[in-house]
Amino acid sequence: MRVVLLSALLLFVTTAAHASDVLLKPFVLASKSAGTVAEKSTQVKTALTGGGFTIVGEYAPYPGADIIIVTNDALKKNAAASDSGGYGAVQRVSVTDAGGEIQVSYTNPVYMSNVYRMQGDLSGVAAQLATVLGRVEEFGSARGMTAKQARHYHYMIGMEYFDEPSTLAEYPSYDEAVRAVDSQLSSNKNGVSKVYRVDVPGKQESVFGVALKGRDKAKFMDDQFIMKEIDFHDVKSTAHLPYEVLVSGNKVYAQYARFRIAINFPDLSMMGKNSFMNIMDTPDAILDVLKKTVQK
């Protein structure tokens, strides 16, 4: 019996060690195929709803791209158990035309659960998405990060962590905050519009997905401009979008762009072609337009 117990303990320790060393990446490529974005999006939505997910929004940020936002009970339950868990209450599925090849990809639930410091690792949701949509490979970072690294991630010294969001507005109560944000996003103020809203059960927290459209001097907050600069690899990271606004209690927050962009593009260089330097004005542009939109 002692030998059996020691063997079991060794197996547990070894398995836990291996699990802690797994390298996670931001996205999962589900499939590549011929066809059109419209045809594939219809197929994907049918598969998602048939596989236990609820579609809460859809966003076509530019020609050749469609993003389907989903949730389910497991995602919402984990969000309810986590501080600022609303950020992880959804997963994003993208359908992208990459030079005539239709790519279906989605956010990696296990990676996202760690960068958002959630209670559970959402491995069940990851398995569910793989069953429903497929799983070819993880991508979005050459090496990837361990769960521990993801939970403490920031792009570099002096830049924001997950627990350092921007405060956009404050209202007398949660109910007033949610009503105001919903109304103002629905009115498409300042080029910011609502893509979805998910209320986290059992707590005063709601997450909104927002589309960002800007021209000329406002181009640095524009989704298409930003993605054109940073999403340049053969396999597209379209599921980076849309950006989130979180109402928690009576306050309205958003992850600062130096964190929110970097978690999905951790390998992006600081300088040179297709670098953060090319969108240097984006973090403040997004912060400013979100504040203008959600404040009284």
What is the value of pTM for the model shown? 0.92
Backbone angles phi, psi at 3, to 5 degrees: -65, -40
Predicted local confidence at residue 21, as pLDDT: 80
pLDDT tens per residue, range 276-294: 889 999 999 999 999 999 9
Q: What is the pLDDT of residues 44-95, one digit of tens each?
A: 999 999 999 999 999 999 999 999 999 999 999 999 999 999 999 999 999 9
Query: Would residue 19 count as lying in a domain?
Result: no
Give the total number of structural domains in the chain.
1
**pLDDT higher for 271 or 211?**
211
Whether the predicted pLDDT of 6 surpasses 70: no
Confidence of residue 118 (pLDDT cuts 50, 70, 90): very high
Alpha carbons within 13 angstroms on the beta-carbon side of residue 233 total: 14
Residue 140 token pair: 């979005």
* pLDDT, tens digit, 9 for 90 and up, residues 147-187: 999 999 999 988 999 999 999 999 999 999 999 999 999 99
- Asked whether residue 270 is domain-assigned, the answer is yes
Give the range of the structural domain holding residue 195, as residue numbers without chain letter: 24-152+159-294
Complete DSSP assignment for 71-135: E-HHHHHHHHTSTTGGGGS-EEEEEEEETTEEEEEEE-HHHHHHHTT-SS--HHHHHHHHHHH--
Q: Is residue 7 domain-resident?
A: no
Examine residue 146 and state whether it is found in any structural domain, yes or no.
yes
Average pLDDT value for residue range 131-141:
98
CATH number, domain of 206, equals 3.30.310.70
Beta bridge partners of 170: 251
The arrangement of strands across the sheet holding 101-107 comes to 54-59, 65-71, 91-98, 101-107, 27-33, 137-139
Say if 72 falls within a structural domain: yes
User: For residue 4, is it within any domain?
Assistant: no
Q: What's the pLDDT at 8? A: 42
Q: Which two tokens stand for residue 57?
A: 């929004």
Q: In angstroms, rounded to a whole number, what is the distance separating the alpha carbons of residues 79 and 107? A: 16
For residue 1, being part of any structural domain is answered with no
Domain assignment present for residue 11? The answer is no
pLDDT, residue 9, reads: 44
d(CA 27, CA 64): 19
Q: What is the tens place of the pLDDT at every residue in 8-55? A: 444 444 444 445 589 999 999 999 999 999 999 999 999 999 999 999
**Do 145 and 24 meet the contact criterion of CB atoms below 8 Å apart?**
yes
Per-chain mean pLDDT for the chain? 93
CA angle centred on 193, ends 192 and 196, rounded to 5° = 135
Distance CA 22, CA 112 (A): 14
CB 45 within 8 A of CB 114: no
Residue type, 216: D
